[in-house]
Structure 1
């Protein structure tokens, strides 16, 4: 049996903005929006070239995430990591996001476990990493 991570889901109050962000900056392809009117629920699945998928969901009454942008973090899922092939691509993506008005929290930098990465936040302040294997 082969196990794969099928998808990760994010609640948002900014469904269209988040869909557009992941499509523009991370090359996700969105499906047609799913709407369940009786539950006041809407969602998109974005599919990435690797086959991984991200579900973006909205529904009234979902409380905000308690993680802040810099210091306070809580147990549970804390970030999504997007992989690229080269250190140069890590740097290019950091420049692209910064030019788009998104903050770079740290990096690009070499990590102790052999990666080259930076951290950023999506429009909902979800923590993201863009990473590649470190090349000497």
Structure 2
């Protein structure tokens, strides 16, 4: 088994698409629009691994009870290949004004990672 894709509700669909294309080399598929449901989305493909579906619909709440739909996700871990690349991308994001929540380090469970926020405040773990 493998993870096919993860999905995240976003406020700014185009801004988030551009963020993942610019910093992570994602390739967006054709934009899907459902006017009846006021819904639109992109599937983003990476060099390998699972796809990310970014979705936008104006009436999705920020907070919700367990099991209900709400904005964002817990975190997305993106493997960039090496410790050096984790450090380099973390610095590139910092220089471009992105917020760094956790500096590069080896965690207690053995991951080398940093933690950054995307433009909408979602946590991304950059890891080997």
Measured against aligned partners, the alpha-carbon deviations of 1:49-98 in whole angstroms (never above 9, x if no partner) come to 114100011112101258xxxxxxxxxx5111001221100000101111
Of 35, 41, 51, the residue aligned with 1:53 is 51
User: TM-score normalised to the size of structure 1?
Assistant: 0.84
Q: Provide structure 2 residue ranges, at least 5 long, that are not aligned to the other structure.
A: 65-72
Aligned partners of 2:125, 2:37: CA distance in 1, in Å? 33
User: TM-score normalised to the size of structure 2?
Assistant: 0.89
Of 86, 102, 106, the residue aligned with 1:106 is 102
> What's 1:79 paired with?
75
Q: Provide structure 1 residue ranges, at least 5 long, that are not aligned to the other structure.
A: 67-76
The verdict on how the C-alpha distance between 1:15 and 1:117 changes in structure 2, with shifts beyond 3 A counting, is same
> What's 1:118 paired with?
114
Count the aligned residue pairs.
120
Aligned partners of 2:91, 2:43: CA distance in 1, in Å? 26
What's the offset of the Cα at 1:31?
0.7
Q: Secondary structure at the match of 2:124?
A: strand
Report 1:83-98 matches (<5 A): 83-98=79-94
Q: Secondary structure at the match of 2:36?
A: helix
Q: Secondary structure at the match of 1:17?
A: helix
Aligned partners of 1:51, 1:111: CA distance in 2, in Å? 22
Aligned partners of 1:65, 1:5: CA distance in 2, in Å? 25
